[in-house]
Amino acid sequence: MLTAEIKRRFLKFFEDQQHTVVPSASLVSEDPTVMFTIAGMVPFIPYMTGMVPAPYPRATSVQKCIRTNDIEEVGKTPRHGTFFQMGGNFSFGDYFKKEAIGFAYTFLTTPQDQGGLGFNPDDLWVTVYKDDDEAFNYWLELSDIPAERIQRLGADTNYWSAGKPGGPAGPDSEIFFDRGPAYGIDGGPATDDDRYVEIWNLVFMQYERGADNGDGTFELLGELPQKNIDTGIGLERIAFLLQGVDNMYETDQVRPVLDRAAELSGRVYGNGGEDDVRLRVVADHVRSALMLITDGVQPGNEGRGYILRRLLRRVIRNMRLLGVETATFPELFPVSMAAMKDAYPEVERDFDRISRIAYAEEQTFLRTLAQGNAIFAEAADAAKSGGLNALDGAVAFKLHDTFGFPIDLTMEMAAEAGLNVNRDKFDSLMREQVERAKADARARRGALADLSVYSAFRAMGETAFVGYTELEAQSRVIGIIANGESVTSASAGETVEIILNETSLYAESGGQDADHGSLRSAVGGFEGRVLDVQKPVQGLVAHTVEVVAGTIAVDDEVETVVDAVYRRQASEAHSATHLIHAALRDTLGPDAHQTGSYNKAGYMRLDFGWSEPLSAETRSELEEITNRAVRQDYEVITREMSLDDAKALGARALFGEKYGSVVRMVEIGGPWSRELCGGTHVANTSQIGLVNLIGESSVGATNRRVEAFVGRDAFSDFAAERALVRELTSGLRVPRDQVADRVASLVNELKQANKRIAELESAKLRDKLPELLDQAEQIGGMRVVATFLGTVAGADDVRSLALEARERLGSDAAVVAFIGEANGKPSIVVATNQAARDLGANAGAMVKVASKQLGGGGGGKPDVAQGGGQDATQHAAALTEVRDLLRSL
């Protein structure tokens, strides 16, 4: 049975049991503390905790998931995958243990010709929480599984929680498939043997979890407002069992990539060695990357982008270990797309964009590999020249951190060079980096308010936004939050969050900054300045307000007042963002899709998928198309409609955004610009006034950013440029059309003058050389010239003078160490001749110890080496280090 068919049957079964079928959410998690959607229940947590009223009593979904905490185990076990699909059925206070157990058993054991999966009950085992007599008895009542195959286990395996305080928790019951004695020992799931594959987890959510106790357990804060059911079925695990293969990597959605990788490498899969693991890693990671890019993730150096980049580079590394050093993504990604398109048609529709991003990342890393190889070669040469048998762990860490080299790749290269790697130093630096990352994550989590404080207010209903048509609105205070806790009132001088039943103030979302404005009330003489407007939970708006005068209390009537000037300018900027997006597609083609945006009064920026800088001509064309749309005075039309109808009209959605069944479509110039957007906009494009493109830059290997001033700010920027041109024409005494030529001429004259000065400085240095050589001292049978040269034109002068000095000192053992100061920073060069090297002198070693004194670093070969630093005043101490090292030989 194909994986897509398992998905179809699962959803059909629960739809027949009156469950609402909910489409998969994005792999990009809405939770700011979590990068990815890691389980099928994640999108439903607000309903389970009661923070947001559930729109349906029971639901079912097949959710796309990504987990990277076990990435090193991928390929080694039959069940660890980075991307996987989790089917789930959920009840929000509707049914509980009995029904959940009955549904699971029925679907698993119903014959395939009747719509089920056809598992034999004799192959199934069940586990329950050790104290859960209720679940144990339901299994005996509702299934044919005997008591001896229902095992009671502890909290470490059969008690589930959402992983953080405020989330749901409760006992669970897991269903396992016994693969038979050929796969391991007898004894059931309690043995924790790979023979028993977990295929379904039924979680009985009854409690709200509290803080960790420090020993792996956590406190329970009490019963949830309603008992919920969350279940998870692993489609990949079900698939490899029903398809009669040994692991998830051999299923229909993964095996084609594995086979193509084997063909490219000439390796044979199935021998049970390291090659099998590498081929599985390639197959898993290609599919995972395909799905991440589909959901809008771009390779980067942090967060989600770093995870994607790591997956892609692990593919390249494993293909290298399989003997393939050329680009392979154009061979592997189309195969993965073909395997996944039946279940996820979007991977085929969007494959041009997906493949462009993946292929560009591979080419970038192949170039990075070349750069890293050069650094590795230099470090390896220095280690061997210094008589060492191991590569410095700091070098291995730099290769990992800066160039993306996995440590095992560095170790492989070191072994080829006859070296080990100082793993202790590498591991120490890695631990420091991990601790820094954890501390940063803890700080981010600590900065977030406990969202549970909003649940009572959200239960009263959604905050109505009336600001599309009204800038002032009457409202009622339904809640006040101070320092993360609900309070009944606030007075002048306090800054609090105020929850209203409706508001005219726009909350930051969709790339648009929050409105500026105020709250006021005749009751208590209240006046409040709005500092921020956010949506802490779905459907609820929180106003951060500085109480300027009077008092405010729950149930008070207040008036929300939008700063009309700021709103107008913000709307101009947001509408301009849509125009530039459409102009980009006109100029570059449909691949230039928006990946992110930010706009506020007078300013906008837009990130879009593209891998090359825009030429000056393209930027000019982009600006002209945008302002032409402004001049054409297009009507800006907003309409609410179903998501399917909007897509049918060609409306564009932003990757990673979550849309409901009813969406708001903003149309400008008919089909020229149709986008799903909840922001505020002008009524006609002429109201934008002017768009001034001020910058275009890279924000990643496959992402570019354009920035623009809009409206009054655009005019002000042009006026400032005009004033500057006037000042230049006056100062240079040339007409405006000759300013550029005159400035270019002056710049050329300045370059020539600087070049002549540098030549004179270099000649002056060379003239001092005889005097410097006369100052040579004897150290350990070597003539040593160690001198601070003072201010020099550049580091090249120090190097050329050191090499010339070495030549003049002849064939007798000689060492030259010169330090010069260029642009306020020191530069050191050490040169040795063959006779000095025969006595043990090593230029690289001397530069290394001297550069530390200068506050920097450096190195090189034994004959000549170069370094630098930040503190030129330490030149004497640096030269002393050189002399001391020579004396120690």
Which secondary structure element, helix H or strand E, spans residue 706, and what is its range? strand 703-710
Are the beta carbons of 232 and 41 closer than 8 angstroms? Answer: yes
Q: Residue 91: helix, strand or coil by DSSP?
A: strand
3-state helix, strand, coil split of the chain in percent (to 5) is 45, 25, 30
464-480 core/surface letters (b: 16 or more CB in 10 A; e: else): ebbbeeebebebebbbb
Task: Give the distance from CA 413 to its chain's centroid.
Answer: 29
**Binding site: residue ranges?**
574, 578, 677, 681
Q: Which helix (H) or strand (E) holds 76?
A: none
3-class DSSP string for 611-678 = CCCCCHHHHHHHHHHHHHHHHCCCEEEEEEEEHHHHHHCCCECCCCCCCCCEEEEEEECHHHEEEECC
Read off the amino acid at residue 772.
L
- Residue 291 has, within 13 A of its CA and on its CB side, a CA count of 28
Distance CA 2, CA 253 (A): 8
How far is CA 88 from each of CA 121, 202, 235, rounded to the nearest angstrom?
Answer: 21, 9, 10
The 3-state secondary structure of 741-765 reads HHHHHHHHHHHHHHHHHHHHHHHHH
> Which of the 8 DSSP states describes residue 154?
-
Tokens coding 550: 């009077």
Q: How many helices (H) and strands (E) does the chain have?
A: 26, 35
Distance between first and last Cα of the chain: 74
Numbered residues of the known binding site for Zn(2+): 574, 578, 677, 681
Any idea which residue has 């462009």 for tokens? 356
Q: Which amino acid is at 828?
A: I
Q: Which of 822, 821, 826, 818 is nearest to 868 (CA)?
A: 826
Helix, strand, or coil (residue 328): coil
Which residue shows structure tokens 């005075």?
633
In three-state secondary structure terms, 790 is strand
The amino acid at 609? G
Measured CA to CA, the distance from residue 725 to residue 738 in angstroms comes to 11
| Placement of tokens 């390929």 in the chain | 75
Which residues, listed in sequence order, are joined to residue 175 by a DSSP beta bridge?
126, 200
Write the CB contacts of 451 (distance below 8 Å, at least 6 apart in sequence): 51, 166, 536, 537
Concatenate the DSSP letters of all residues of 211-270 into one string. Answer: EE-SSS-EEEEEEEEEEEEEEEEEHHHHHHHHTT-SSGGGSTTTHHHHHHHHHHHT--TT
